[in-house]
Each structure stands twice: as C-alpha cells, then as structure tokens.
Amino acid sequence: MQHTGREARSNARLNAVQAAYQLLAGDAPASRVIDEFLKYRIGQEQDGIVLGEADQELFTDILRGIDARGDEIAAILNDYMPQNRPLASQEKLLQAILQCAVYELLARVDVPAAVVINEYLDVAHAFYAGTEPRFINGVLDKAAHRLRDAEMKK
C-alpha cells in the first residue's frame, strides 16, 4: 500500500539513507537495493520492531536520483567539505545523509528547502549524538543557498 502522509515521507527518507548507506558499503546495483527495501524492509518487522510504512515513490526517486546524479551531488558537496577531507573520505552514513538531502534540494523543488533540511537533520539526530548533525546542517544550509537561493532568501 502506498502511503503519502508526512510520516510516510519521513520514513521514506530514513529508508533512503539506509539504502544509500548500503550502496556505499557494498557493490549491489541501485535497482537491487531498491527492490530489497521495497520487498523486505519497508513496512516489515525486523528484530521485533515493525518498521513504518513509507512513501515508496519518494524512496525510489531518491535512490534512483543519487545513483544517476552521484557525480553532480558529490561535486556540490565537496565544495563544502573540509579542504583535506573530501566527501568520499567522510563516514559512509554521513555521506548517505548528505547525498539524499542534496538530491532532494536539486530535484525535488516541490519540497521546500527548509523541509528537506529539517527532515535530514531528524535522520542525523536518529543516528548521531555528537557534532555530526551540526556539521550536516551547515553543509545543507550552504548547499540550499547555492541551489535554491531565491527560496532561501525569503
């Protein structure tokens, strides 16, 4: 069943980050990872916890988008990485969060930039207790000003 409410979109983003992490950590093609998540992970029980339903269209769009536009996304993100630590040298989970968010900033203009940033900050807080969410916020804020300057000035 396709769920499209706010919670389903948030769950889609969380699952997209997890799938993006899997892409970074392994060598499976994006199509296989997408299929695996849609069939076996999203909305299914894992370790005694039933995972929430997700907007499958949004999930699929994000994963296909980061697969197709990976070089473009990396180039944008590398402009905001510390000089001696390019995106590829960052922790894979951090890379996954940033890639998914920048894809949405690039391609999902139907979603306000502030919503994209807030949603991925929520994901970051789910995984990190240290300074990583602040770092992610800074990078995404700079990327949003670059990609959606008029919207960010409002």
Q: What is the pLDDT of residues 61-84, one digit of tens each?
A: 999 999 999 999 999 999 999 888
3-class SS string, the chain: CCCCCHHHHHHHHHHHHHHHHHHHHCCCCHHHHHHHHHHHHCCCEECCEECCCCCHHHHHHHHHHHHHCHHHHHHHHHCCCCCCCCHHHCCHHHHHHHHHHHHHHHHCCCCCHHHHHHHHHHHHHHHCCCCHHHHHHHHHHHHHHHHCHHHHCC
pLDDT of residue 154: 78
pLDDT tens per residue across span 115-136:
999 999 999 999 999 999 999 9
- By percentage, how much of the chain surpasses pLDDT 90? 79
Domains and their CATH numbers in the chain: 6-152 (1.10.940.10)
The per-residue pLDDT for 37 is 92
Q: Please, are residues 106 and 69 in contact by the beta-carbon 8 Å criterion?
A: yes
Count Cβ atoms within 10 A of the Cβ of residue 27 and give its class: 0-12 exposed, 13-18 middle, 19 or more buried: exposed
CA distances from 95 to 119, 122, 151 (A): 16, 15, 25
CA nearest to 76, candidates 105, 55, 50: 105
pTM exceeds cut of 0.85: yes
- pLDDT value at residue 1: 44
